[in-house]
Chain A
Amino acid sequence: MTSQQIDSESIRLPQAWQGKAWLLLAVGLALVLASGFVFMVSGLEVRKIFWHSYLANFMYCMTFGIAAMFFVLISFLTRAGWNASIRRWAEIISMTIPWMGLLFIPILGLVITGQGLSLYEWNTTPQALVENHQPVVAEKVIYLNGTAFAIRAVICLVAWSAIVSYYYSLSRREDETGDVNLAIKRQLYSGPLVMFFALSVSMASFDWIMSLDGDWYSTAFGVYIFSGSMFGFFGLMIASLMTLQSHGKLNKYVNVEHFHDLSKFQFGFTMFWSYIAFSQMMLIWYANIPEETAWFKNRLVNGWEYLSYASIPIHFVIPFLGMMSHHVRRHRWGAFFFACWALVAHWLDITFMVMPNAGPVSAPLVIGHVLCGFGMFSIFCAMILQRAADVPLVALKDPRLPEGLSYANPIL
C-alpha cells in the first residue's frame, strides 16, 4: 500500500455506462431475434439451425465465464501475486455465469419437454431412436434423457454460480475490511474447487456439446473445450482491459507487465489447444474406427471443410508465430490484435464444434449465425458492464496488490 494513491476516478466506470448496459442488452436480444428471422426467411430448417446457433453462441460466452472462474481459483490455489490488480476484472467476468445460466433456460425447457430433437439427437423416445437407426443412442437413454440432462445442467450452473458469487462476495468484503483471512479462506477452498471444476467442466462439455452427436464420444473433449476457453478468455482479458485503459481507466494498476503475462498465457494456451486438438484428431484419424471418424467426416463436407482447415492457421499457426516474440507480446497494438484474434478464433472453434450438425454451410446460415453471435456477445458485455458499473475495478485492499504492481518480467 505504499506507493499508489487511491484514485477513485480511474477504478470506477462512469454511472452512464450502466445505461449503456441496458442498451446493449436490447441490441443483443434484437440481434438474436434477427438471426432467427434470417433463418426463417431463408427457408432453411429454422428450428434446427436457430437452436444450434443459439447453443454455439451461448457456449462461446459461457466459456469466458467458466475460464474466468478457473483463473480466479487457480490464482488463489497457487497464491499468485502478479495478477492481484487484474483479478477483480476476472471476477467480474466470472460473475456472468449466474446470468448466462438464465440464457440456458430455453434449451433446458426444450430438452425437458422433449422438443429438443432438432438440437440434441437423443432428445426423443428410445423407440423413435431405434426406428431412426440409432440403437446405440437408445441404449444410453438412462444418461441422455431430458430430465437427467436438466438435473446435471442445473447442478453445474448452480454450483458454478455459487462458487463465483462466493469468491466475488469475499473479494468485495475485502474491499472494505482488507482482512487477510478472506484471502486465506479463498486459498483454502480453491484446491477442492479446482477439482470440482475439472469434473464439472468435463461433464458439461460432454453433455452440452459432445452429445449433439449422440453416438460420438471422445474422452479428451472436456480438456479440448477447456483449452480453447482459456485461450479465448485471455484474449478477452487483454482486449477488455486495453479498452478500459483507452477510456482512461486502470492506467496505474495494469501495466505492460500484466499484458505481457496475459499474452504469454494466451500464447501458451494456443499451443495447449493445438496439442489437445491435434491429439484428439490424430488418434481418431489413425485408429480409423467408423463411429469415431463420423464426427470429423461431418466437418469435412458441406462447406465446413473450409472452416476445418482454416482453423489450423487461425487457431494455431498465425497466433503461434505472431506471438512468439516478446516484442509483440509487450507491444500494445500487437497484444491487442492477437487478443481480438483469439476472440474470433475461439468463436470459430465453437462454431466448428456445433454448427456442422445444423446443416450445410449457406449464406443465410452464416449471416444468421454471425448476427446471433454479435447478439449474444452484446448480451454478455451488458452483463459485464452491469456488474462492473458500481464496483471498483481493482481490489485495492488485496494484500498481494503491491507485489502485483511491482513485478517486472526479465527482458533478455
Chain B
Amino acid sequence: MSAHKPQPVAPAKPKCFGWLAEFDNEHDLMTAARKVRDSGYTKTDAYTPFAVHGIDEALGIKPTILPFIVLSFAFCGLFLAIGFQCWSNGYDYKYIISGKPFLSIPAFIPVTFETTVLFSTVSTFFAMWLLNRLPTYSNPLFANPKFDRVTQDRFFLHVDSRDKYYNRESVRELLSSTNPLSLEEVIEDSTPDKLPTVVWMGVATLIVGSLVPLTIVANMRAGKSELPRWHVFFDMDFQPKKKAQSISTLFTDNRSNRPQVEGTIARGQLVEQDPYYLGFDPSKQSSIEIPSAVKLVSAQDDPKADPKVESPKAPKLEGPVEDTKPAAESTEKPEAPSKEPVKVDKEKPAGKKKDTSKKAKAEPKGDDVKTADKPVEVKADGKKTVAEEKNPTATEEKKADAKKADAKKADAKKEEPAKDAPASSTKPADKAAPPTAVAPAAAGPNLPWLTDFPAEVSEEMLALGKAKFEITCSVCHGYAGAGDGLVHRRAEQLQQGYWLPPTSLHEQRIQDQAVGNLFYTISNGKGKMASYAAVLTPKERWAIVMYVRALQRSRNAKIEDVPVDQRAKLEEVKKAD
C-alpha cells in the first residue's frame, strides 16, 4: 500500500522489469498490442481504465477456468444442501411440522437453490481474485507516477523483461514504433513493501481482542458454574406482578388476588353478572343467602369459628347445579374449613362445564370407598343422586365408572344431595331435603330467579322460540312439550331399561318455575339434559322460554285468553261437540 507513494529512496542499481508504453485511447493500444503479439512476445500485458473488449485476443490471452471452478462449487452447494436437509430433517431430528413428511423434497428446494447460488457467488468472487493473484499491494508499475492515470484515462502496454525473447533495445524500438505518449522502463519499486508495524500490530490486536468475548462465551457454555445465573433481562425474569395464591403485604388480608369489588363488573365478565345471561339476579343473592365473599373471608379467618356460616355454605356448594359462578369465583381460595367442602369447592369452577375434571377427581375417591358397585344400585342411585345431575353433560356416553364413583362419593359424604330434584318426572325422588335447601317442589338451586322476561315478548321472539324449540328441544321434549319426543319414543320402543324419560313441560312443577329458572336449565342443563349454551344464544334461550310458557298456557287457557272476536267461533266448536 505504501507502495504507491514514490519515496525518495536512492537505490544503487534498480532492477528493470521491461518497458511501459502509454497511450491515450484503446485503439492505439490495440494496434500496439497486436504488433507486440505478432512479434512473438508472450509476457506482455495491457493496463486499461475499463475492460477493453478484444484486448484478450490482441494480446493472446487464454480464456479463464473460472466457470469450471464455479460450477464445481455450485454442485457442492447443491448436494450439500439437499443432503444436509434430508439428513437433518428426515433422519437426525424428526419433527412434525405443517403435517409434511420428514422427507419433503418440494420444501427442500428453496434452501437448496439458495445454497447453490451462495456457493457459486462466493466461489466466483474469491476464485476471481485468487486467479488474478490479488490482493497484492506491491507492484513495480505503481512506482511510476504516470501509471496513476491507468485507472482514469490512460492505456498502458507492458512488455516484461522476463519474456524469453526480451531484448531491451529491440523492445524499445518496437514500442516506439507504435507512437506511444510516453515510453519508460519499469523500475523496481524501491519503497518498502512491508506493512508498517503500527498497522499490523493494530490489526493483530483487533483480531485477538475480538476473540476474547468469543472465548469467554465458549468457555461458559462448555463449563459449569456454581454462581447464580445473570439476569440480563431483569424484567423478564422478575415481572412486576403477583402470582395467584401468593402472599402480598399490600393488603390487610395478605392475599395477592383480590375479590371482586362490590358493584363492579370485571371486563369480559358481564356474561357472568348480568341477569340476562344468567336467569337470576346475582345482586339479589344476598337477600337469599350470605354472600359468598363474606363466607369465604370468615372461613379463611377461622375455619371453625362460624358454623353458622359454614353450614349453609357446605350444602349449597355440594348442591350439584346450584354452584353458581359468583360462588365459584370466590371459592378459589385453598383455605377452607373442612376437607370435604374444600374438595367440592375446588371442583366447582370446572365442574360446571367440564365433566372430565370432575370425573378425574372422582375416580380415586371411588377407589377409596371400594364399594362393590352393583349396576342395579347405580341405576337406582343414578336417578336421584347428585352425581348424575351434577354434571349436565354426564349423558349415556359417560363411563359408568365415573357415575358410580360420583354416586359413592356423594353417599360417602353423607350429604344427601337429593335436594336437587331429578329432572325425571317419573320418580318422585325427593328424599329428605336438607334443611338449608330451598325446597319448593320443583327444586333447583336456590337463586333469585328472574320472574319477568328481560327481553321483549313479541311475535317475532315467539317465532324464534318456536323455531329453536323445534330444532333443539323437540327431539326429547316433543313438539308440544309433553316429553314425548322422537328420542323418547324410540327408547320406549327399544325398551331401554335405563332410559330416563324427558320431563314433560306441562308438569305443575315446571309450570311453577320462574322463567329465569327455565332459562337457567337450558343454559346449564339439568339431570341428563345437557347445557345448550353452546348452540343457543341468550336471546334464543329466552325466546325458547317464552315459547315454553306459551305451550304451557295453551293447555291451561281460559276463555278470557281468547281474543273477543274469536270466542264465538270457539263456542261453536264447543257446541258442536
**A and B, one complex?**
yes
Which residues does A use to contact B, with CB under 8 Å? 278, 281-282, 285-286, 288, 325, 410, 412
Main secondary structure of the interface of A (DSSP, over half): helix
Task: Tell yes or no: B98 within 8 A of A by CB.
Answer: yes
Closest Cβ neighbor of A326 among chain B residues: B67
Q: Does B53 contact A410, Cβ atoms closer than 8 Å?
A: yes
Known contacts A286-B98, A288-B99, A410-B53; is-contact A278 B63 (Cβ 8 Å): no
Task: Check A282 against B106 for contact (C-beta < 8 Å).
Answer: yes
**Quick one: closest A residue to B66, CB to CB?**
A412
- Complex Cα distance, B99 from A281, in Å, reads 17
A-B contact list, 16 entries, CB within 8 Å? A278-B106, A278-B109, A281-B106, A282-B106, A282-B107, A282-B109, A285-B106, A286-B98, A286-B100, A286-B106, A286-B107, A288-B99, A325-B67, A410-B53, A412-B63, A412-B64
Contacts A282-B109, A286-B98, A286-B106 aside, 11 further interface pairs with beta carbons under 8 A come to A278-B106, A278-B109, A281-B106, A282-B106, A282-B107, A285-B106, A288-B99, A325-B67, A410-B53, A412-B63, A412-B64
Closest A residue to B107 by CB, please name it. Answer: A286
User: What are the 5 closest A-B residue pairs judged by CB atoms, nearest first?
Assistant: A282-B106, A285-B106, A410-B53, A278-B109, A286-B107
Give Cα A205 to B107, complex, Å: 28
> For the complex, what is the distance from the CA of A376 to the CA of B263, rounded to whole Å?
85
Residues of A close to B100: CB separation below 8 A = 286
Chain B, 28-78, CB within 8 A of any chain A CB: 53, 63-64, 67
CA distance A244 to B4 in the complex (A): 60
CB distance from A289 to the nearest CB of B (A): 12
B55 to chain A, nearest CB (A): 12
Give the shortest distance, in Å, between B520 (CB) and chain A (any CB). Answer: 42
Question: What distance in Å separates the Cβ of A228 from its nearest Cβ neighbour in chain B?
Answer: 19
CA distance A412 to B70 in the complex (A): 15
Nearest CB in chain B to that of A281: its residue: B106
Question: Cα distance A231–B12 when bound, in Å?
Answer: 69
Which residues of chain A are within 8 angstroms of B63 by Cβ–Cβ distance? Answer: 412
User: Which of chain A's residues has its CB closest to B53's CB?
Assistant: A410
Give every chain A residue within 8 A of B98 (Cβ-Cβ): 286
State A285–B108 Cα separation when bound (angstroms): 13
- B67 surroundings in chain A (CB, below 8 A): 325
Q: Report the Cα distance A144→B107, complex, angstroms.
A: 35
Query: Which residues of B are found within 8 Å of A285, using beta-carbon distances?
Result: 106
Tell me, in angstroms, the Cα distance from A65 to B215 when the chains sit together. Answer: 66
B90-134 residues at the A interface, CB under 8 angstroms: 98-100, 106-107, 109
Contacts of A278 in B (CB 8 A): 106, 109
CA distance A325 to B63 in the complex (A): 14
Encoded as 1 (CB less than 8 Å from any A CB) or 0, chain B from 191 to 222 comes to: 00000000000000000000000000000000
B563 to chain A minimum Cβ distance, whole angstroms, is 46
Set of chain B residues within 8 Å of A288, measured between Cβ atoms:
99
Q: How far is the CA of A288 from the CA of B98 in the complex (A)?
A: 10
A282 to B99, CA, bound (A): 14
Q: B106 contacts which chain A residues (CB < 8 A)?
A: 278, 281-282, 285-286
Q: Which of B434-465 contact A (CB under 8 A)?
A: none
A315 to chain B, nearest CB (A): 15
A287 to chain B, nearest CB (A): 9
Give Cα distance in the complex from A410 to B54, angstroms: 9
Please, what's the 1-or-0 string for B532-560, where 1 marks a CB less than 8 Å from any CB in chain A? 00000000000000000000000000000
Tell me the nearest residue of chain A to B74, going by C-beta. A324
> Which of chain B's residues has its CB closest to A285's CB?
B106
**Residues of the A chain whose Cβ atoms lie less than 8 Å from the Cβ of B53:** 410
Q: How far is the CB of B534 from chain A (nearest CB, A)?
A: 28
In the complex, chain A residues whose CB is within 8 Å of the CB of B109: 278, 282
Once the chains are docked, how many angstroms separate the CA of A278 from the CA of B63?
A: 36
Q: Chain B nearest CB: distance from A296 CB in Å?
A: 11
A350–B98 Cα distance when bound, in Å, is 32
CA–CA, A278 and B99, complex, Å = 20
| B401 CB to nearest A CB, Å | 40
Residues of A within 8 A of B99 (CB): 288
Q: Report B-chain residues with C-beta under 8 Å of the C-beta of A325.
A: 67
Min C-beta distance of A275 to chain B, whole Å: 10
Beta-carbon nearest neighbor of B63 in chain A: A412
CA distance A25 to B24 in the complex (A): 64
The answer for the CA separation of A412 and B99 in the assembled complex, in Å, is: 48
In the complex, residue of chain A having the shortest beta-carbon distance to the beta carbon of B67: A325
Closest B residue to A278 by beta carbon equals B109
Residue of A whose beta carbon sits closest to that of B100: A286
Of all chain B residues, the one with the shortest Cβ separation from A283 is: B106
Q: How far is the CA of A281 from the CA of B107 in the complex (A)?
A: 11
* Bound CA–CA A12/B64 (angstroms): 43
Which residues in B have their C-beta under 8 angstroms from that of A281? 106
Closest beta carbon of chain B to A162's beta carbon, Å: 42
Kindly provide the distance from the CB of B103 to the nearest chain A CB, expressed in whole angstroms. 14
Question: Inside 8 A of B64's CB, which chain A residues have their CB?
Answer: 412
Nearest-neighbour CB distance to chain B for A329, whole angstroms, equals 13
Complexed CA–CA distance, A410 and B106 (Å): 37
Residues in B with CB closer than 8 Å to A410 are 53
| Closest chain A CB from B65 CB (angstroms) | 12
A320 vs chain B, min Cβ distance (A): 12
Of all chain A residues, which has the CB nearest B56?
A: A412
Most chain A Cβ neighbours within 10 Å, of B63, B106, B109: B106
Q: Which residue, of A278, A281, A325, A412, has the highest number of chain B Cβ atoms within 10 A?
A: A412
Closest A residue to B106 using CB positions: A282
Q: Closest approach, in angstroms, between the C-beta of A237 and any C-beta of chain B? A: 26
